[in-house]
Amino acid sequence: MNQEERALAFAGLHRKGDPVVLYNIWDAGSARCVAEAGAKALATGSWSVAAAHGFADGQKIPLPLLIEAVREIVTAIDLPLSVDFEGAYSEDPAQGAANVAQLIDAGAVGINFEDQVVGKGGIHPTDRQVARIRAIREMAERQNISLFINARTDLFLQEGDAARHASLLDEAIARAKAYAGAGASGFFAPGLAEADLIARLCAASPLPVNVMMKPGAPDLAILATAGVGRVSYGPFPYRAMIARLRDEAEKVYRGAAK
């Protein structure tokens, strides 16, 4: 498939009630591993990619290094790739779109694009985020690529008390509708884990909803019944792999010290 064909195939995997499952990867090796396991598409996690290269999350990995990592992944696999691009490395709509263009040039067909103000806290006003999404969509159209813009809201991640998530649902739905109008392709609500609230969001959202698997989240069957269109695993695959590596290394060094 060429890049546009991969983009269209990726979009087609997002079906409400029959979610595409993305077990997030971080480099070419993990990409090949997950592809061989049966993935239909691949997606990076920003936390994982940063950590694998020795950086903290929050756009700390230099943009050129991230672009090179994307090129390496695209070269290693023949599946659609979505890149967690955080805030596009700029609050300015035009510059953010120009940065996304580099990802397209590297071979990506989708992005996660979040509405938190990276590194400063808080969330961009809806109209500001709409302008940023629209700039990315217009750039992608000029490139003739059906880029999948997975518009992420950080409303639920920034509210640590899950008991208050219900009070945020109306704003999340309003943002989903606004982001759809600006050209987004999907709506990502990490941190939301209550099945009833997820179902309400899926019913009201004009976009397929992405839920992130985390400890305590509903299982895949429940999420499918709720109407979810995409399930991703965020940093948890990388964290599990690193924990296993550390455990095995500690066994080796404990043995060597005897």
Query: Which tens digit of pLDDT belongs to each residue from 107-150?
Result: 999 999 999 999 999 999 999 999 999 999 999 999 999 999 99
Q: Shortest CA distance to 34 belongs to which of 16, 47, 48?
A: 48
State yes or no: pLDDT of 258 exceeds 90: no
Q: What is the pLDDT of residue 170?
A: 98
Place of tokens 């029959």: 18
Q: What is the pLDDT of residue 257?
A: 77
DSSP 154-205: -TTTS---GGGGGGGHHHHHHHHHHHHHHT-SEEE-TT---HHHHHHHHHH-
Q: What is the pLDDT of residue 21?
A: 98
Q: Which two tokens stand for residue 25?
A: 């990867």
Residue 113 vs residues 1, 154, 169, 239, 253: alpha-carbon distances, Å: 25, 10, 19, 22, 42
Q: Report the Cα 131 to chain-centroid distance in Å.
A: 20
- With a CB cutoff of 8 Å and minimum separation 6, the contacts of 71 are 106, 107
Q: Which two tokens stand for residue 24?
A: 């997030």
Give pLDDT tens digits for 190-224. Answer: 999 999 999 999 999 999 999 999 888 999 999 99
Greatest Cα-to-Cα distance within the chain, rounded to the nearest angstrom: 64
Which 8-state DSSP code applies to residue 42? E
How many residues can be counted in the chain? 258
Place of tokens 């792999």: 241
* Structural domain count, the chain: 1
Domain encompassing residue 28: 3-256
Q: What is the pLDDT of residue 10?
A: 98
CATH classification of the domain holding 235: 3.20.20.60
Spatial distance between the Cα atoms of 4 and 223, rounded to a whole number of angstroms: 29
Spatial distance between the Cα atoms of 118 and 1, rounded to a whole number of angstroms: 34
Q: What is the pLDDT of residue 256?
A: 84
In this structure, what are the phi and psi dihedrals at residue 82, rounded to the nearest 5 degrees? -105, 140
Instruction: Report percent pLDDT > 70 for the chain.
Output: 100
What's the whole-number mean pLDDT along residues 43-56? Answer: 98
Query: Burial, 16: exposed, middle or buried (Cβ in 10 Å; 0-12, 13-18, 19+)?
Result: middle
Spatial distance between the Cα atoms of 205 and 243, rounded to a whole number of angstroms: 37
What's the whole-number mean pLDDT along residues 26-42? Answer: 98
Other Cβ atoms within 10 Å of 125 Cβ, number: 10
- With a CB cutoff of 8 Å and minimum separation 6, the contacts of 170 are none
Give pLDDT tens digits for 68-111. Answer: 999 999 999 999 999 999 999 999 999 999 999 999 999 999 99
**Strand boundaries in the chain, DSSP class E:** 20-22, 42-43, 81-84, 110-114, 148-152, 186-188, 209-212, 230-232
